[in-house]
Amino acid sequence: MRIGLDIGGTKTDAVAIGAGGRELARVRRASGFGADQVVGCAEEAVREVVRRTGGRLTDVTGVGVGIPGVVDAATGRVRHAVNLGVAEVPLADLLSKRLGAAVIVENDVKAASLGAWHLLRLTGSAALLNVGTGLSAGIVVGGRVWRGPRGTAGEIGHAPIDPAGVACSCGQTGCLETLASGSAIARMWRTDAALPAVELFDRADAGEAAAMRVRGVFVDGVAQAVRMLVLSVDVETIVIGGGLSGLGERLQTPLREVFHHWAAASPFLASLDLPGRTRLLPAGTPAAAVGAAMLGTVPQFA
Amino acid sequence: MRIGLDIGGTKTDAVAIGAGGRELARVRRASGFGADQVVGCAEEAVREVVRRTGGRLTDVTGVGVGIPGVVDAATGRVRHAVNLGVAEVPLADLLSKRLGAAVIVENDVKAASLGAWHLLRLTGSAALLNVGTGLSAGIVVGGRVWRGPRGTAGEIGHAPIDPAGVACSCGQTGCLETLASGSAIARMWRTDAALPAVELFDRADAGEAAAMRVRGVFVDGVAQAVRMLVLSVDVETIVIGGGLSGLGERLQTPLREVFHHWAAASPFLASLDLPGRTRLLPAGTPAAAVGAAMLGTVPQFA
């Protein structure tokens, strides 16, 4: 069996995948904070999910890890995993020694793109557009993650699309992430609500003008991200994931409206069939963990 | 030997490529206008270049064609080759019958990206950013053209990057092509000069404020196109080709200045090393013809 780990800012998910891609077991734990705890928690999650399958660690043919931050996929080193309190850690090496199994590490969004590709039974090429605190995409071609030589493939969150936009944390101005992300909503919609995006969409549904305007900016930004992926990489399917995809139909419906509005103005855009190629990742889909488990099963791009 | 054709709006180039990728012969003819003449001219160019090698048509193992317009690479049909007076033509079928050889047809920019990859001895991944009348890019990964499932990979010319920009011919607003293309210069710099871009750069070099402003907008647009390719596809090398790349150092120097300016404001952008990854296609490089000849030598992306 293969094990996939999704180490998030608050929780670590582990799945065990058997022959034919079948899920054998799944566990969830609170993530640690700081390199030592993160590695320790990951080790325990692997041991626990293996135990639940009734098997043993020696049955594990490979472990894959998806984690936020900058990942050197070749060495398995992780840097700048800020939400986990990790400045830098040789995660693959440490985890591999503790488990006695080969460990592959990948950025969580890239891992999730591979997981979505498998779980949604996609073929050809696809992107997972992760609309979370930030905005980025993972790209899969023929079952392989396309990282690009520097690992910035799909980093469209930091593509500027408005010279008159606001400053972005990356030092540029008007990046897509300043419109289409949780941090963008937090900036545009000041509230003490626990779930600012849900409150925003509730108020917009109720007809509150300010909320409708902010929702419009956000949804237009998500639509622009889809368009940019199609006009640069050209993947067949764009799957929207990340925390904000949990809005479900409330996001998808206005998103389709933006696409139809664009198509009415531009025959070229109409020919791209953006509504037909864009879908949401169903809530609760363990895309990053399953994708992490699948990382070692296909050769990397040369 | 393999034959590559570059059918442009005014001229058709043919090259014969022998073992090891060596150029055996090259010819240039005026392109025909309308489907019949275009096909006839292409046939004659192939016969002529084969004759110059001292060989015969039966020595030809394959013919590749690069042509502007919308190309269905699977069937070899060409549509909307406006500059050639072609509404639609089954180019591969017609040319194949006349020559008795297999013919592969591809969009000229995509063919040129493959040619640049071979001629500049690139490895890994690369994009040819074609700055001509319009703006588009061809993408090559491991010696194969990445078209995308709908053929829009690299079509960043129609990615909008300024909501306050001008209307684009595609029906959208503020597309990259409205800044970084020959048509953009023609709109921004009204002149009767035979070579508007050369006049523009001459005047800018002479310190004329209006010319410096327009040159700045154009160069910034080219830089934005490079950045978008790196942040979406992430290719290792970006080669700038097309008619405007003939500006040479006069384009490359201010382009580097834009990159350095960006890098000073954004450590993230600095880490991308855009100046080190961007180069110009040397003037006179027969990239599209050579790339067309190489089309059949590597398997297509699945």
Is B234 within 8 Å of A151 when comparing Cβ atoms? yes
pLDDT at B299: 75
Asked if B233 has any chain A CB less than 8 Å from its own CB, the reply is: yes
> In chain A, which stretches have pLDDT less than 50?
none
The predicted-structure confidence for B195-236, as pLDDT tens digits, reads as follows: 999 999 999 999 999 999 999 999 999 999 999 999 999 999
Asked if A237 has any chain B CB less than 8 Å from its own CB, the reply is: no
Kindly state the greatest CA–CA separation across chain A: 59
For residue A264, what are the contacts with CB-CB under 8 A and spacing of at least 6? A270
Asked if A145 has any chain B CB less than 8 Å from its own CB, the reply is: no
| C-beta neighbour count of B26 within 10 angstroms | 16
Residue B93 has pLDDT above 70, yes or no: yes
The predicted-structure confidence for B111-124, as pLDDT tens digits, reads as follows: 999 999 999 999 99
Asked if B129 has any chain A CB less than 8 Å from its own CB, the reply is: no
Residue extents of the structural domains in chain A: 2-113+285-297, 122-280
Quote the pTM value: 0.96
- B73 against A248, higher pLDDT: A248
* Calpha distance A79→B185 (Å, rounded): 43
Is A171 within 8 Å of B229 when comparing Cβ atoms? no
- CB-CB neighbors (< 8 A) of B151 in chain A: 234
Fold of B121-280: Nucleotidyltransferase; domain 5 (3.30.420)
Asked if B160 has any chain A CB less than 8 Å from its own CB, the reply is: yes
pLDDT at B302: 53
State the DSSP string of chain A.
Answer: -EEEEEE-SSEEEEEEE-GGG-EEEEEEEEPPSSHHHHHHHHHHHHHHHHHHHT--GGG--EEEEEESSEEETTTTEEEEEGGGTEEEE-HHHHHHHHHTS-EEEEEHHHHHHHHHHHHTT--SEEEEEEESSSEEEEEEETTEE---TTS-TT-GGG-B--TTS-B-TTS-BSBGGGTSSHHHHHHHS----SSHHHHHHHHHHTT-HHHHHHHHHHHHHHHHHHHHHHHHT--SEEEEESGGGGGTHHHHHHHHHHHHHHHHH-HHHHHT-HHHHEEEPPTT--HHHHHHHHGGGSPPP-
- Which of A154, A143, A137, A139 lies closest to A119, judged by CA? A143
Q: Where does the pLDDT of residue B152 fall: very low under 50, low under 70, confident under 90, or very high at 90 and above? A: very high
Task: Pick A148's closest partner by Cβ from B235, B262, B265.
Answer: B235
Is A301 within 8 Å of B159 when comparing Cβ atoms? no
B243–chain A nearest CA distance, Å: 22
Is B148 within 8 Å of A265 when comparing Cβ atoms? no
| C-beta neighbour count of A54 within 10 angstroms | 9
pLDDT at A302: 54
The predicted-structure confidence for B37-63, as pLDDT tens digits, reads as follows: 999 999 999 999 999 999 999 999 999
* Calpha distance B151→B127 (Å, rounded): 15
State the DSSP string of B155-205.
Answer: -GGG-B--TTSPBPTTS-BSBGGGTSSHHHHHHHS----SSHHHHHHHHHH
- Which of A37, A142, A150, A55 lies closest to A91, judged by CA? A37
Mutation pick from A125, A176, A220, A233 vs chain B, by most beta carbons of B within 10 Å, is A233
| C-beta neighbour count of A21 within 10 angstroms | 14
Contacting B residues, span 271-300, partner chain A, CB-CB under 8 Å: 272
- Provide the ipTM: 0.95
Task: Pick B232's closest partner by Cβ from A154, A171, A302.
Answer: A154
Q: Is B31 helix (H, G, I), strand (E, B) or coil?
A: coil
Is B266 within 8 Å of A142 when comparing Cβ atoms? no
Question: What does pLDDT average to over chain B?
Answer: 96
Task: Pick A232's closest partner by Cβ from B125, B172, B229.
Answer: B229
pLDDT at A20: 85
- CB-CB neighbors (< 8 A) of B263 in chain A: none
Q: What token pair was written down for B12?
A: 């058709």
Fold of A2-113+285-297: Nucleotidyltransferase; domain 5 (3.30.420)
pLDDT at A183: 96
Full strand arrangement of the beta sheet holding A62-67: A23-30, A11-17, A2-7, A62-67, A103-107
* Calpha distance A29→A48 (Å, rounded): 10
The predicted-structure confidence for B75-90, as pLDDT tens digits, reads as follows: 999 998 888 999 999 9
Same fold, A2-113+285-297 and A122-280: yes
The predicted-structure confidence for B164-191, as pLDDT tens digits, reads as follows: 999 999 999 999 999 999 999 999 999 9
A275–chain B nearest CA distance, Å: 15
Residue at A21: amino acid letter: G
- Which of A178, A244, A245 lies closest to A217, judged by CA? A178
The angle at the Cα of B89, spanning B18 to B156, to the nearest 5 degrees, equals: 75
- A300 against B68, higher pLDDT: B68
**Superfamily per CATH, domain B2-113:** ATPase, nucleotide binding domain (3.30.420.40)
Report, at the CATH architecture level, how domain A122-280 is classified.
2-Layer Sandwich (3.30)
Is B149 within 8 Å of A301 when comparing Cβ atoms? no
